Amino acid sequence: MAMSATPATLNVLLSFPSPNQRRLHLGTSNQSSSFLRTHLVNTKSFSRTTMTVAVNASRFENITMAPPDPILGVSEAFKADTHEMKLNLGVGAYRTEDLQPYVLNVVKKAENLMLERGDNKEYLPIEGLAAFNKVTAELLFGTDNQIILQKKKRKSVIDVCVFCSLKVATIQGLSGTGSLRLAAALIERYFPGAKVLISSPTWGNHKNIFNDARVQWSEYRYYDPNTVGLDFNGMIADIKAAPDGSFILLHGCAHNPTGIDPTPEQWEIIADVIQEKNHIPFFDVAYQGFASGSLDTDASSVRLFAARGMELLVAQSYSKNLGLYAERIGAINVVCSTADAATRVKSQLKRLARPMYSNPPVHGARIVANVVGNPELFSEWKDEMEMMAGRIKSVRQKLYSSLCTKEKTGKDWSFILKQIGMFSFTGLNKAQSDNMTNKWHVYMTKDGRISLAGLSSAKCEYLADAIIDSYHNVS
């Protein structure tokens, strides 16, 4: 008789001429023989043996295969390509002119300082490294900003800092992504039903973050395909139409993926509308100093809103400007109208972080604290940032010149120069982007975004040929 088992059975008919051969087969593998002896029933019928093997179905059978990440998946496809002219313009990571990863000299010096001091690897507090939080807030808002200055209270005849009247709650996060996720959790818990407005298009992970945090979101117009520029009127209209008290997600500088930023005058109007609607601005600052080469210039949008006395959220990342991609170092800052509110917000951010990851990593935090907190290293860092930003500006200019030289129909490619930062929105659609990859071995995201940080001057003409061909010959 055959034995069946739940939840599933696999019937296997095996024929063996003799019991010795059956024993030999069962003994070929310790695991298989143990399994078969446990779940096997012999029924002799002349010289044939029928065996039924019971196999338990996986409890994870209903989990489907996830699609590849639209950005990180590009790198996997690039690695498998053997073409000598292949280009990886998908992931936003800085490369040298030889298209090699770059470790900043100031990072190496900061690490040497850590070794010389013999820094340990003890747990950080939930909010992260205090020295990191201090310098990162100063870097973002400016060292003389009233919202982060510590005030002294007179006690007897001695001035002592018995309390700190910071209006900013800053805690170390897991780079920009983790910092955004903490802020999303704060919104979900303390602003139930509130909606976050994000630009169309935006960085591919923004929607994932809010979806997983169960925070509602909708889009506001940003990109105008007709001009390959900013749809400013549409943006303003959509922010005005949003329910009062919505969170408006803004890219502090070097908008990802378009590279299109509002002008200083447009930022003023955006701030006006957000104030009128009692919205809460929520900045994602991933490229401070890496876009223009100036830390102050790239933080000007955030400082504009803070100077108006507005409450706001700012997520920061040091992946790009210090090249600390793998260190996952960043911060979430919440600017409040009072120091007391900031203290309470910080306590709740810590409470949210505790069950997520308990406390953040120390290595990247010490690098940032050493670089930003040391005047000599800080000066060197600004020079290196200017060098990196300058290289990207250089290949942007050369790509534009190559496109103009090869263009025969009079198409205007000047939007390439109007964009800023490491990305350029080419205006290519999905079919055209597929042609870039399939025919020209240029790997990029399907929305037409390319990372100029992964382009060398030597390959600008090749890329221009690929863009011209894809734009004109693929519908």
The residues that are catalytic are: 203, 284, 320
The residues, any chain, with a CB within 8 Å of residue 71's CB and separated by 6 or more, are 90, 91, 204, 205, 445
Measured between alpha carbons, how far is 117 from 437 in angstroms, rounded to an integer? 48
Is the N-terminal amide bond of 257 cis, ω within 30° of 0? yes
Measured between alpha carbons, how far is 353 from 351 in angstroms, rounded to an integer? 6
The residues, any chain, with a CB within 8 Å of residue 92's CB and separated by 6 or more, are 256, 320, 422, 423, 451, 453
Asked whether 443 and 405 are in contact (CB, 8 A), the reply is: no
Q: Where are the beta strands (DSSP E) in 175-275?
A: 195-200, 216-221, 223-224, 229-230, 247-251
Paired strand residues for 425: 449
CA distances from 379 to 106, 132, 295 (A): 10, 17, 11
Measured between alpha carbons, how far is 389 from 382 in angstroms, rounded to an integer? 10
Continuous H helices in 277-429: 295-298, 300-307, 339-357, 363-373, 375-406, 415-418
Paired strand residues for 450: 424
* Inter-axis angle of helices 130-141 and 363-373, nearest 10: 50
Asked whether 169 and 334 are in contact (CB, 8 A), the reply is: yes
Burial class (CB in 10 A: 0-12, 13-18, 19+), 4: exposed
